[in-house]
Amino acid sequence: QVQLAESGGGLVQPGESLRLSCAAQGSVFFINFIGWFRQSPGKEREFVARIKRAGGMTDHSDSVKGRFAISRDQAKNTVYLQMNNLKPEDTAEYYCAVAKTAWTRNSRGYEWWGQGTQVTVSS
């Protein structure tokens, strides 16, 4: 089993930045791919970014490309999501998730999920 804990969310104004963290514990040897997703009330869960644990290859959705950056610190078993130039439409609950075998943007490919951290962008 893998336990994930997100942190770093909060209330910010448009144009400001936040860095989310996702710390993993437990059977971390299962972790091959880590993703960030977000969900707003009444909307489906949306892919944001993903990273390969080995090699560090990344992928970002078009809606955040150039503003958000996913990264990892293997020594700390932690993945980060640096979010710059935040917009009101980025407001959502942000979740990190782990996949054992699937390099995918589809949330169904992820076996373990964190509890989420709320990001609110408002003036």
Distance (Å, rounded) from C-alpha 67 to C-alpha 63? Answer: 9
Higher local confidence (pLDDT), 27 or 2: 2
Strand 112-113 versus strand 117-121 pairing type: unpaired
Strand 33-39 versus strand 92-99 pairing type: antiparallel
Q: What's the chain's average pLDDT?
A: 95
| Helix/strand/coil for 88 | helix
Give the per-residue pLDDT at 28: 82
- Banded pLDDT at 85 (limits 50, 70, 90): very high
b/e code 64-80 from CB counts within 10 Å (16+ = b): beeebbbebeeeebbbb
If you search the block for the tokens 């709320």, which residue do you land on? 118
What is the mean predicted confidence (pLDDT) over 95-114? 94
Report percent pLDDT > 70 for the chain: 100
Q: Count other C-beta atoms under 10 Å from residue 42's C-beta.
A: 5
Distance (Å, rounded) from C-alpha 23 to C-alpha 117? Answer: 12
Write the pLDDT tens digit of every residue in 28-74. 877 899 999 999 989 999 999 999 988 889 999 999 999 999 999 98
If you search the block for the tokens 């407001």, which residue do you land on? 91
